[in-house]
């Protein structure tokens, strides 16, 4: 049986797309590289129907170059699972968080020594033990103040508790997503939880990794609940323990706690995890 030319394209992907569509409609077709481009050929008996299908597809749309896809969701899932299978380890950012917390807590004498002033969120002017002025906008001129409170801890128990959970949750996050991603997460959640503690909680002196800790917890918890492809689910005992501690602190059973930093960190992490889970996008389809 004789074959006939249906159409030709500049791009091979357009020609192979048409071939596949024709084949799916019961019209055998093949692609040939000709002098003027990539040609789609079919049997003469199918020529008229094949051309109708091509017109319906839209030639301009087929020829339009498509942006390259960095990776498919399936490939990303395989990558995350492979990283998790190699084992959870503390990366450089997680280690830096722990080392800086220990060093700055020691250097500032648990946030109460003479060297603590540059690390607090607000710039505090003192006369002896008396506070003369509190400048809550000092971070505009000294932007490190947005982050440095996370490294100040008020007791050995405080730094041990926070450090233990950062070791685990930060290690998981950094293993899955890499050091750069954890650094960005730390800067965003740390800055916003610190700002919230000062401006909403009206607390001039506070510190600790708790806001970041709850941000990491919220992200991993919600991402695991709403993303069926996510390779990790936090154990129920972990969720109960951290939510229980959150409530105990929030109702005032434990004094001198940066509850707004906890709450904002948790909310940010949960929102971030939910948006990246794809659950909302799937519901809107």
Superfamily of domain 73-284: Rhomboid-like (1.20.1540.10)
pLDDT digits (tens, 9 = 90+) for 165-218: 999 999 999 999 999 999 999 999 999 999 999 999 888 889 999 999 999 999
In whole angstroms, give the CA distance from residue 150 to residue 162.
10
- The band of 60, judged by pLDDT with boundaries at 50, 70 and 90, is low
pLDDT digits (tens, 9 = 90+) for 101-117: 999 999 999 998 889 99
Confidence tier at 67 by pLDDT (50, 70, 90): low
CA distance 29 to 51: 12
What pLDDT, on the 0 to 100 scale, is given for residue 108?
A: 95
| Residue 70, pLDDT above cutoff 60 | no
- 258 pLDDT band, cuts 50/70/90, is very high
Q: Give the model's pLDDT for residue 233.
A: 92
Which position has the higher pLDDT, 282 or 153? Answer: 153
- In sequence order, what DSSP letters do the residues of 22-71 get, joined into one string? HHHTT--EEEEEETTEEEEEEEGGGHHHHHHHHHHH-HHHHHSPPPPPS-
Q: What is the pairing mode between strands 37-43 and 3-9?
A: antiparallel
What average pLDDT does the chain have? 89
Beta carbons of 197 and 260 less than 8 angstroms apart: yes
Say whether 204 sits in a helix, a strand or coil.
Answer: coil
Q: Show which residues are catalytic.
A: 210, 262
**Is 261 exposed, middle or buried (CB count within 10 Å of its CB: 0-12, 13-18, 19+)?**
buried
CATH class of 3-63: alpha beta
On the 0-12 / 13-18 / 19+ scale of CB atoms within 10 A, 204 is: middle
52 — pLDDT class (breaks 50, 70, 90): confident
The domain ranges of the chain are 3-63, 73-284
Q: Tokens 């002896």 map to which residue? A: 128
Average pLDDT over residues 126-148: 89
Asked if residue 160 has pLDDT above 80, the reply is: yes
Give the β-pairing of 37-43 and 123-127. Answer: unpaired
Q: How confident is the model at residue 1 (pLDDT cuts 50, 70, 90)?
A: low
């Amino acid at each position: 049986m004789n074959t006939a030319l249906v159409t030709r394209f500049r791009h091979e992907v357009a020609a192979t797309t048409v071939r596949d569509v024709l084949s799916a409609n019961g019209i055998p077709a093949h692609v040939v590289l000709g002098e003027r481009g990539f040609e789609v050929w079919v049997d003469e008996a199918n020529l008229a129907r094949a051309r109708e299908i091509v017109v319906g597809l839209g030639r301009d749309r087929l020829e339009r170059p498509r942006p390259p896809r960095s990776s498919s969701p399936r490939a990303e899932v395989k990558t995350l699972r492979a990283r998790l299978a190699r084992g959870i380890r503390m990366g450089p950012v997680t280690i830096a968080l722990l080392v800086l917390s220990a060093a700055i807590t020691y250097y500032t004498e648990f946030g109460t020594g003479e060297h603590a002033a540059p690390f607090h969120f607000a710039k505090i002017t003192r006369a002896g033990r008396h506070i003369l002025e509190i400048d809550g906008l000092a971070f505009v001129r000294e932007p490190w103040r947005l982050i440095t409170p996370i490294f100040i801890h008020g007791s050995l128990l405080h730094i041990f508790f926070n450090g233990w959970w950062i070791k685990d949750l930060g290690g998981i996050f950094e293993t899955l997503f890499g050091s750069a991603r954890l650094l960005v997460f730390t800067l965003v959640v740390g800055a916003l939880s610190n700002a919230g503690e000062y401006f909403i909680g009206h607390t001039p002196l506070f510190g600790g990794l708790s806001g970041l800790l709850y941000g990491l917890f919220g992200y991993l918890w919600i991402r695991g609940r709403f993303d069926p492809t996510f390779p990790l689910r936090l154990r129920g005992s972990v969720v109960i323990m951290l939510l229980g501690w959150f409530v105990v602190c929030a109702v005032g059973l434990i004094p001198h706690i940066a509850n707004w930093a906890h709450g904002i960190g948790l909310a940010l992490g949960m929102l971030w995890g939910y948006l990246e889970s794809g659950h909302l996008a799937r519901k809107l389809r």
